[in-house]
Amino acid sequence: MNEIQILEKAGLTEGETRVYLALLELGKSSAGRIIKKSGVTPSKIYDVLSRLVRKGLIGYIIEGKIRKYTAAHPTRILEYLKQREEDIQELKRQIKGVIPSLELRMRLAEKEESAEILEGTRGIKMFFDMSLEETKKGDEVLVFGYPPEASILFNSYFKKFHKERPKKGVYCRVIYDYKTWFLKKREKRRLMEQRYLPKGIETPAFVYVFNEKVGTIIISDRQKLCFMIKNKKIADSYKQYFNIMWGIAVKTGQ
């Protein structure tokens, strides 16, 4: 990584970096000389110089009627970074203070019914995370038609998920596809019952239900999508459908 890249990572813009490096080489200089050396356009040079002055990376003196600029010692960059760190910590403190009011705005804006598409592996994991965040002791998560592709893709994720879920007292029932169940050795998990569909019954998508939300999840080589619906009546109907499927699913003792 070269000097320009490092300075830009430190928080300087491309123009600020070019001007600062130009001044290190030029020494005390007018705006005209800085423009020629740095390549920053005349229309932008004074804005760039003003920002560098505010950051404490350059200074200036007035000789006659001409303002001439000088670069601060390079170690000043470390002081600038230290100030940025302090500013970020203060901003974090302020944001923590307004999070409750922001959450209140969100809750007030929530609709009783909504639909959303979550794309990609991250989007689907967001839906799973939501089920962990929004459920409480005594709630239940229902999953049916769990296919092999999902079992492979989310294997490590659900190992962590099913360690956190029982800590909250959330129960879970899962109905696997026949192939999925025998894909690997299944372990018994706390507050969880597992069954699988009879051989020959396969599902192109699987359904994940908690509280008033239903996620229909598609996993394939071409796409990974979660169609999420928030609707109490629809969620209740899927829960009834799950219980019918639960009755025909094969018991595992796990």
Element (H, E) at 151: helix 148-153
* Same domain assignment for residues 129 and 245: yes
- Domain final residue pick, 47, 74, 101: 74
Burial of residue 71 (number of CB atoms within 10 Å: 0-12, 13-18, 19+): buried
Per-residue model confidence as pLDDT tens digits over 107-164: 766 666 788 999 999 999 999 999 999 999 999 999 999 999 999 999 999 999 999 9
- Kindly state whether residues 127 and 208 are assigned to the same domain: yes
Give how many domains the chain has, as a whole number: 2
Answer yes or no: do 128 and 25 share one domain: no
For residue 224, the model assigns a pLDDT of 93
Residue 111: predicted pLDDT: 62
Asked whether 125 and 131 are in contact (CB, 8 A), the reply is: no
For residues 133 and 245, state if they share a domain. yes
- Domain boundaries, position 134: 113-251
Same-domain check for residues 119 and 61: no
The rounded percent of the chain whose pLDDT value lies above 70 is 98
Give, in degrees to the nearest 5, the angle at Cα 81 between 76 and 85.
145
pTM as predicted: 0.59
Examine residue 246 and state whether it is found in any structural domain, yes or no: yes
- Report if residue 53 sits inside a domain: yes
Residues 243 and 126 in one domain: yes
Q: Are residues 128 and 247 in the same domain?
A: yes
**Residue 53, SS3 per DSSP:** helix
3 state DSSP class of 55: coil
The pLDDT tens digits of the residues spanning 73-111 come to 999 999 999 988 998 999 998 998 988 888 878 776 666
Tell me the CATH number at 213.
3.30.870.10
Mean pLDDT, the chain, whole residue set: 91
Domain-embedded: residue 228: yes
Give 16-50 pLDDT, tens digit per residue.
999 999 999 999 999 999 999 999 999 999 999 99
CATH of the domain at 14: 1.10.10.10
Here the tokens at position 129 are: 């995370």
